[in-house]
Every structure is written in C-alpha cells, then in structure tokens.
Chains A and B, each alone.
Chain A
Amino acid sequence: MQIDYAAVAPELVLTGALCIVLVVDLVLPDNRKGLIMPVSLLGVAGTLLALLALAGDPTRTTLGGMFVVDSFAVTLKILFCVAALLTLAMSYDYLRKEGIHQGEFYFLLLCSLLGMLTIASSRDLLPIFVSLELVSVPAFVLAGLQKIDVKSNEAALKFFLFSILSTAVMLFGMSLIYGITGTTNLAEIAVRLAATPVLRSIAVLSVFFVVVGFGFKISAFPFQWWVPDTYEGSPVPVAAFLSVASKTAGFVGLLQIMFIAFHGLADVWRPFIAAVAILTMTFGNLVALTQRHIVRLLAYSSIGQAGYILLPLAVVNVNGGSVNHEAFAASIAYLLIYAFMEMGAFSVAVAYGREGGYFIDDYAGLGYRAPGLAVVMTVFLFSLAGIPPLAGWAAKLFIFRAVIDGHEYWLAVAMAVNTVIALFYYAKVVRRMFFEPAGDGPLGVKVPLLLQATIAVSTVMVLLVGILPDLAAHLARMSTLV
C-alpha cells in the first residue's frame, strides 16, 4: 500500500515535534523548563505551515480511503492548530505561576492536538474512534495536572469516568453498524444501509448509541454533567482547550458520521437531535443564570452554545436535502467563530484570575480598575450573547438561516428565546464590571505579553468577522462535506 506522505505531512511534523518536546523535557534542568514552550510553539507553527501548503489542493485520499485531506479537513485542522497556539500562549505564565509540570503539559497538549488533526481527516469509524481517544486520554491527565489540588483530581476523575462510559456506548453502536453493514467506511455504510432496509431498526439503535457517545464529548444534554466540575477544577487554560478544541473535535466526528454515514436515516434521528439540541441550550442557559464562578459560567454557556451548533442537524434531509449544505456550513461557521470568542473570554479569565480571583463577585468594578480588560471581556461576552456587530451575531444568524430554510420555525423560536435568556447572564457579568464601584480588587492588572497576544488576536477576529461575516461564511461553505 502506497502512502501519500504529503497528505499526512502535518501529522508527521506534529509527531516529530512531540518527540522533540519530550526529549527537550528530559534533558532540561528543572529551572529551565520554560524553554519547552517555544519548542512546542514552533512545532505547532510548523504543522500549521504544512497545513497551509495543503490548502487549496485537490482532495487527497490515502491509507486505503481511511484518511482524506479535503477542504473540510484542512479548515478544521487549521482551526485546531490556532486553538492550540492560543492555548499555548495562554498557558505559559499560568503554568509557571501555578507551578504545574510544564514538560508534561505541552507534550500532552500536542498529543491531544494530534488526535484532533487525525479526526478531521478520518472517514472511517476506526480512525474516528482512535482519534477521539487520542484527543481524550491526554486531556484526562491535563485536567488533573494540578496534582495536589483536590478539585483538579475530581475534575480528571469525573472527566475520565464519563468519557470512558461514553466511549463504551459509542463503541457498542459502532460494532452494531459493522455487524449489519460489514464495513467501517462511512460512505460505504451509507450505501449498504440504503441497500438493506430489513436491518433498519438495528441501524437506528446504533445511531442512537453513537449519538449518545458523542453527546458526552460535545456536552449535550443529558450528558453534560461532567462539564462544569471538570472545567472548574482543571487548570484554566486546559478548560479553555477542552471547551474549544476538544468540543470541536467531538462535533467534527459527529458531523462526519451523521452527514456521510447516517444521512439516510435522518428522518428518524432528526426529531431526536432537535430535542437534544433544544434541551441542551435551555439547560445550559438556565443553569448559567445562577452561576457565581466565571469558569463555571463559561462552562454552562458553552453547553448552551453546543445546543446552537447541534441545531442545524435537525434540518438534515428536509425538502429532499436541499438545506444540507447550508446546515453543515452553519455548524462549521459557528465552530470557527465560537473558538475565538470562547478563547478570548477564557484568556481574560486567566489574565485576571491570578490576581483578582475567579468569582464573578471579584469582577465587581473591574471597569474602573482595569478598563482595557473589562472592555475586551465585554466584547467577548456580548459576542457570545450574539449582539451585532460582533462575530457571535453572525454565527447565530447562520444557524437561524439554516433552521428557517428547513422550515423548522419552532426550533428557531426556541433558539431565539434562549438567546434572550443567555443575554441576561452575560449582561450580569458586564453589569458587575461597570455598574458597581471599584471595590477592593487589584488596581491595574498586569497582563503578560503572550496573554496580551491571545486576547488581541481573539478581539481582532471577533470584530473583523462581526463586520465582515463573509470571512467565516465563505470558509465554512467551502469546507462542507455535502
């Protein structure tokens, strides 16, 4: 079997970088461990370059059709790399101040990234499963990296147990699929499912299991219980990475399977997905209203956001599939935009948290003590709430568009109501920051240079895409699989 090395070049570069990071960690004395960070940064940057070299090429298929590099894969891999870069920049000072093992942190982060890269190219159940595990297993350790912190231990353990359970359920579903179709290739599954209507009921069963499995990864209701505790207990940059990159990886797998392999059964799973999406956003937004910890607030808000991203799946194959393309693009566009606003909000939480604390009460009067930080936090929160002309607005518009195109008006109304509920808790933080007197928190927060860069990049992207939504929309439409 011939391997197309150009197609797997980004993964190879990253694997090389991984090994180098590990070696560097082994030879460096304890007081020089900070040097691992630039090495990792270079590794990811190299991966990004290899990806950019692939951008625009015609589709490449290798490893017997299991590994495909098309615009979908390239776009999402770039997104993953950017998210990893932002996380790296966000972590550097955080790790040093919190005294977390730096070598292991960067190594594990890159391992998880490798899994994300491969999942975007996987068009087969087996590599999807393996990639998903490669994403998750390092993440368990990352969540528990603050070894002496009981909450961090709890975070890792909860994450581990829930994830293992979901993996088992998903694997059971996949095995059923293999049992009735005799293949693990996604496209082939669709063909054989259509050809064997007798076993449709078992196919439905397996779709259900696979969705449940992915439901844990993307934190959909009712599989989201681990999310708030894990995010809160983990080191904050890890929480950011989980809520952006790891969640996106879950969506990438889910979208591929639903759109390629299971779209023939869409009539059956569409209402189920619709119900899950609406419940997810409603639960996330309602519980977020009562949160007092900023990371928990962002965790619940990310559950709400997952509901929005899931919603376009509820219009797959209506009108004979005429909206599939738009629906797929809407989810992708939302993921692209979501990454920057969520990363931005987490960066501000990291920047302020060390000196000021992580409770929303600690943010009281921030607008008077650190106006710059307060203003960018407002930008990210209002973007998450979907206020124009910030990027989050465009993301929501794409979802609304797809859903209304599919004539699912009630879903659109449910999401609209959710948007209003969500505004309330985002505005609550903004209110604390600006409408309350300065309080006794630190005056003029010092933000490390790398963190400033993370915040700046996120802010620019949120504003730019907000004013020119076509940047995201065009990319997303190019990067669909249908």
Chain B
Amino acid sequence: MDFLAHWGLTLSVFLPIVGAALIAFTPKEQEKTIKFLSLAFTFLPLVVGVLLLRVYHIGMTGMQLETNRSWIPSIGARYHVGIDGISLPLLELTLLVTFLCAIYSLKWLPEPHNPKGFLALMLLLETGMAGTFIALDLVLFFIFWELVLVPMYFMIGLWGGPRREYAAIKFFLYTLFGSVFMLLGFLALYFRASPHTFDVLQLQRIGPSLPSGIQNLIFLGMGIGFAIKVPMWPFHTWLPDAHTEAPTVGSVLLAAILLKMGTYGFLRISIPIMPHAARTYAPLIGALAVIAIVYAALNCLAQTDLKRLIAFSSVGHMGFVMLGIATLTQIGVNAAVFGMVAHGVITGMLFFIAGSIHERYHTREIPQLGGMALRLPILGGLLAFTAIASLGLPGLAGFWGEVLALLSSYNPLSALSSHTFRVYMVAGGIGTVLTAGYLLWMIQRVNLGKVPAQWEGKKLVDVQPLEMVAWAPLLLLTLGLGLFPRLIFDVTTHSVIGLTKLLGG
C-alpha cells in the first residue's frame, strides 16, 4: 500500500508508454500479440487506478498520493505529481475510456489496416492525457500536454476521413500555437514568483500576491493555450474538423479526455494561482461560454453529418463547463467538474455509436440514414438513450453539470456582477432548449421515419457482443452518475471548497 501511495500514480501513467515500446518492438505480422499487449497495458493502469481509490482519502482537502523528486535541477523543474478531488475523476475517466477503446479496437480498426502503429499511438496518447491530470509541476505539465499532440496528429492524419491531412495539421498548429503561449506564461510566472519555482502548489501560495497587471497578462497568455484546447468560442474551429475526420477511437478520446485538459488547466493552474486575474476575466469567459452554447446549438441545427453534429455539441457542452468555472463559486466549479466527466462519458459514447453507424452504413449523412430503430433496434435505442442523456434529461448524467452551471450563474462570486451572470443564465437556458431541439430532431431523423430505399434488402448487423462490452461501462456510468451524482460530488467538493477559498468565495 505504501508503494502504491508513492508510485501508484506514476505507474498508472507510465505503464501505457511501456506497452507502446513493447508494441513497437513486436513484428507487424503478430497482430494478436499486439492487440493483447494493448489490452494488457490499458487494463493494468486501470487496475492501478482502481487500487488508488483505496488509498485515496475522499474527505481530505489538498493533494494526495504525491511524489516529488528532483528532475531538471538547473531550471528548477521537478517531477512532482499528485491528485486531489478535481483530478481524480478525470484520471479515472482517462484510464477507463482508453481501456474501452482498446477493447473496441480488438475488432474494429480504422483503414489503412495497421494495428501496430495505431495501438502504439493510442498508448502513447494515454500517457500524455493521464499525465496532464496528475502533473503538479508546470514543466512536467507542459511535457504531458504536448505529448498528446503527436499521437493525435498521426491518428487523424493516417486513419482519418477524406480531409484528414487538413484536419490533422489544423489540430496540430492550433494546439501548438496555444501551447507556446502557455509556455511563455509558465516562464513568466516562474520568474515573477519569488522564490522562482514551477511547482503548482507553491505557486498557489505565491501567485495571489503578484501585482494585478502581471496576473492579467500571464492569465491571458496561458488562457490562450487552455482556451484553444477546451475549445472556447472563437478558438473552436479546429474541433469540428478534427472530430469529423478522426477515426472512431480518436474521436472518442478527443471528446472524452483531450478537451478536458483545457478546462482542467484553468481549474488547476490559471485560476488558483492568479485569482485576481480570474475575477477580472470571469465575465469575459462567461460571455464566451454562453456564446459557445448558443452558437454551437445553432450550428448543430444546420449539420447533416452525424459526427460533425456531435462535435459541435461538444463545443456547447464545454461552454456549460466554462460557464460553471466562470462563476468562480463552489457550485459552479463542482458543476464544471461533473460536467467534464459527464460529457466525457456521454459524448465518448455518442462517438462510439457514430463510428458504429458509419461502420454499417458507410455514411454519416443524417438524411441518408432514417428508420434505424426499425433495422437496428438496439443501436437505435442506445443512440436515443445517449442523445437524451446529452441533452440533459434529469436522471441521466448530462443533467447535473448543465443545471448546476446555470444555477450557479444566478448567484456568482460576490466580486462579480450578478446582473451580467443572470443574463448569461437566461442565454444559457435558451441554449439548453436549442440543445434539446437539435438532439431530438437528430434522433427523429436517424431513428424514426422510413428506411431509405438504398438500405432495403441490405444486411445490417445490430450491436455485437464486443461492442456491448466496450460500451456497457459508459452506459452504466451515464445512468449511475445521473441517479447518484454524489459519486462525483463527494470526491470533488472538498477540493473545490479549497479552490474557491483561494478566490475569496
């Protein structure tokens, strides 16, 4: 147990990269070995992740399971990792979803067929994603953050749809553009802090006393990096392309986890270290979030490509998360973390379904589908279930994040103008209606109506057992988190209280 407490996090993050190395040295022809390795090296981290829950004290504020070792002494960067209530759910989500992707990949691999490359990249991606959520040193955080870029670039560019090269390089350039500014922000923070440090926890103590002008500047630099990743309107334009062109597993990981890195960055780094700047920018962030919600919903109404629709819906859902964060209140931030997990589960599931639909119909054009509930009742049922969860039906996971985010913006942090945020609340409410509108309309067009003539007499296979295995945990979580939101809130609340204290809430 002692070993687990000290090295469990490190183990869960670096096991996948070991798996990637093993796969790299396995001959291309031995597909079974490769698939087994990918399964094993996503399952083992998940096991470690579950064991970590046993040594993690839920009722405690602050960081736990920390490891703090010397790494680059000459620039003052350390290998410092640890988790609290905000990062724990995201870490577990990462480990789970990647494992499910590995299961899904046992049978469904994107063309061109190259399991070795694809699975090795997926494992590399997992290390980057999981590492981002545990890093407590800015340089370490940056490395993990950037580690995600290359595998995702190749995933989209190699196995993506027709416009994959454009989407891949757009994703790469946008994110790199954001992250170099983030890095400049980190360095500026380092030199402004005395003593100079990259340690997030130390900076949380030092940062708030920095002059407000400096805080605003640094917050802006980092904010560009995080906002592009979230993505916040108007930095979102890479997302629909990347999502639409990426292979199924790529889309799932992108939606379920990558987007969370941006919001997590705000919660872990920008806001607690620079509370003054956070209060300054909160109305702006709130405004952009609300614009994203309404804009994404309107866009969704006009989409004909199923994946593109889900991609735009992600922009909207992340808007709710950002709105919750912008209120800087305990309820708002709790709602944001819940929204992140819920969005990961639900939208990940939606992308799985979209991938399976594409697998069967070889198209994602909504007008060409139609009547799916007749031909493929189980798949149609799952689509309806997940889409309804996504629109925020009470009793399912999507509900809590959205409704609490709206609720918290009725009464934001006392330093913020409650009038402004009430306007946001109303606009967000309209967004919710529009969200329900486009999702229900999508269900109607895909599931109901007549089966188009081109599918008559064609054999279409309904959900297969392996798909069910890969999806069941997500479906159960959708229902479970909806019925028992305390599963998440109990974990997050203490850490969120710690965070909002820093803000004077």
Whether A419 contacts B187 by the Cβ 8 Å rule is no
Tell me, yes or no, whether B157 is within 8 Å of chain A by CB: yes
Instruction: Give how many B residues have a beta carbon under 8 Å from the other chain's beta carbons.
Output: 32
Contacts of A419 in B (CB 8 A): 176, 180
* Binding-face segment, A179-187, A191-199, A334-342, A427-435: A427-435
* Binding-face segment, B147-155, B401-409, B450-458, B477-485: B147-155
Whether B180 contacts A416 by the Cβ 8 Å rule is yes
Contacts of B146 in A (CB 8 A): 387-389, 393
Number of A-B contacts (CB under 8 A): 82
Within A394-444, the residues touching B (CB, 8 Å) are: 397-398, 400-401, 404-405, 409, 412-413, 416-417, 419-420, 423-424, 427, 431, 434-435
Whether B165 contacts A404 by the Cβ 8 Å rule is no
Whether B74 contacts A477 by the Cβ 8 Å rule is yes
Contacts of A427 in B (CB 8 A): 153, 169, 172
Tell me, yes or no, whether A209 is within 8 Å of chain B by CB: no
**CB-CB nearest in chain B for A404:** B187
Contacts of B72 in A (CB 8 A): 468-470, 473
Tell me, yes or no, whether B75 is within 8 Å of chain A by CB: yes
**CB-CB nearest in chain B for A394:** B72
**A400/B187 contact (C-beta < 8 A), A393-B146, A419-B176, A419-B180 known:** yes
* Interchain CA distance A416-B157 in the complex, whole Å: 24
Q: How far is the CB of A360 from chain B (nearest CB, A)?
A: 15
Contacts of B177 in A (CB 8 A): 420
Whether A420 contacts B150 by the Cβ 8 Å rule is no
Contacts of A200 in B (CB 8 A): none
* Interchain CA distance A387-B183 in the complex, whole Å: 12
- Residue-wise, chain B 164-203 has the 8 Å CB interface mask toward A (1 for contact) of 1100110011001100110110011011000000000000
Whether B150 contacts A431 by the Cβ 8 Å rule is no
* Interchain CA distance A412-B188 in the complex, whole Å: 10
**A388/B169 contact (C-beta < 8 A), A434-B158, A477-B74 known:** no
Among B143, B164, B181, the residue within 8 A (CB) of A435 is B164
Tell me, yes or no, whether B142 is within 8 Å of chain A by CB: yes
Tell me, yes or no, whether A147 is within 8 Å of chain B by CB: no
Whether B75 contacts A473 by the Cβ 8 Å rule is yes
Tell me, yes or no, whether A474 is within 8 Å of chain B by CB: yes
Tell me, yes or no, whether A358 is within 8 Å of chain B by CB: no
**A401/B187 contact (C-beta < 8 A), A420-B180, A434-B157, A473-B74 known:** yes
Whether A424 contacts B191 by the Cβ 8 Å rule is no
**CB-CB nearest in chain A for B184:** A412
Tell me, yes or no, whether A216 is within 8 Å of chain B by CB: no
Within A92-110, the residues touching B (CB, 8 Å) are: none
Whether B75 contacts A431 by the Cβ 8 Å rule is no
Contacts of A393 in B (CB 8 A): 143, 146
Whether A423 contacts B184 by the Cβ 8 Å rule is no
Among B75, B172, B173, B184, the residue within 8 A (CB) of A413 is B184
Q: B: which residues have CB within 8 A of A?
A: 71-75, 139, 142-143, 146-147, 149-150, 153-154, 157-158, 164-165, 168-169, 172-173, 176-177, 180-181, 183-184, 187-188, 190-191
Q: List 10 A-B contacts (CB under 8 A).
A: A389-B143, A393-B146, A398-B75, A400-B184, A404-B187, A416-B184, A469-B72, A470-B73, A470-B74, A477-B74
